[in-house]
Amino acid sequence: MMNDVSASAGSGDRRNSKRPKYSRFTQQELPACKPILTPLWVISLFTLVGIIFVPIGLASLLASNDVVEIVDRYETACVPPSMINDKVGYIQNPAISKTCARVLKVPKDMDKPIYVYYQLDNFYQNHRRYVKSRNDKQLRDASKAYETSGCDPEKTTADGTPIVPCGLIAWSLFNDTYSFTHGNGESLTVNKKDISWKSDRDHKFGSDVYPKNFQNGALIGGGKLDSKKPLSEQEDLIVWMRTAALPTFRKLYGRIEVDLKENDIITVMLENNYNTYSFGGKKKLVLSTTSWLGGKNDFLGIAYLSVGGLCFFLATTFTVLYLVTPRKLGDPSFLSWNSKSGIQ
């Protein structure tokens, strides 16, 4: 009788146990590669990484050094001396001319195409409220003009009529303009065609969507749009609405499709319309060539060289240590996974 009770209790314990059913998979006993990192393997691995990374780093740095850049900060230089202590008043006064002339000197030969960018510093396009202030349905489809959800505070006019395109991103459109003249008096045309992503033009901005009631309020945020052109053709807007992840960013303004020679003088006539003075921002005009790696960026080359150099240093250090104070390796056959008795 007691034996029956004990047996039933034991079977009940097994049924109520939370221990998983045994399998080689759950117990991590499946066949696997378990390399033993001997000094030879470690030294060889570090040396191999160094051999690969150092040439890549050198090639990246050389490509970056081949890029020619002209960077001109102008938001302070374009303020009249009489308004230097009231920059916000200057930019908000429509009676004051915003035209400004800048002279640039080409430091090295620049082969076409030469990309023209504007750069903004201390402008947080990644702010959560700013990023969300748009309506993608409205941008794509003319029948969704009344879709303004998420566009606060720039969603409708005072009488409730929807703004197209709505939202803070569109409202704050960059509106400085640039025109370039060569030192010999020849005008340099800026090609603004295809400066935006093709996928954005084809899928995010509708060819039947036209601006309505845009910048018609009391407070003007930035540039205005041509009401006769669909949003898919307004590439300055498309470029601007692809928001930047960092507070310092560049956006493509256009391309100059002629070569510039060393010591050429370029006169830039710009309209300093965009207000960065209210938040302490900076504006820069950038002319840049490109290489097979893109624009000028030394970080990638320095990173590859640093990792490659560190690997060479570690390989050399481990080699010296191994030669000066060698250590006898144990017998791998005694490892648990090499022993049949180690598998339970």
DSSP state letters, 26-69: TTT-S--------HHHHHHHHHHHHHHHHHHHHHHHHHHHH--E
Write down the pLDDT at residue 32: 76
Residue-level length of the chain:
344
pLDDT at residue 212 greater than cutoff 80: yes
| Average pLDDT rounded to a whole number, residues 135-141 | 92
Write down the pLDDT at residue 75: 93
Provide the mean pLDDT of the chain: 88
pLDDT higher at 163 or 328: 163
**Closest C-alpha among 44, 53, 58 to residue 316:** 44
Which tokens belong to 219?
């407070």
What percent of the chain shows pLDDT beyond 90?
64
Spatial contact of 237 and 173, defined as CB atoms under 8 Å apart? yes
Model confidence at 340, in pLDDT bands (50, 70, 90)?
Answer: low
pLDDT at residue 111 greater than cutoff 60: yes
| Global pTM value | 0.81
* Angle of CA points 183, 271, 101, to nearest 5°: 35
Half-sphere exposure of 146 (CA within 13 A, CB side): 3
Write down the pLDDT at residue 2: 46
For the segment 3-52, what is each residue's pLDDT rounded down to a tens digit? 554 555 455 555 666 777 888 888 777 887 777 788 888 999 999 999 99
What long-range pairs does 230-233 form, CB within 8 A, spacing at least 24? 230/205, 230/206, 231/139, 231/165, 231/205, 231/206, 232/201, 232/202, 232/205, 232/206, 232/207, 233/201, 233/207
For the segment 190-204, what is each residue's pLDDT rounded down to a tens digit? 999 999 999 999 999
N-to-C CA span, the chain: 36
| Average pLDDT rounded to a whole number, residues 144-157 | 87
Sequence-distant (≥ 6) Cβ neighbours of residue 309 within 8 angstroms: 50, 54
Model confidence at 343, in pLDDT bands (50, 70, 90)?
Answer: very low
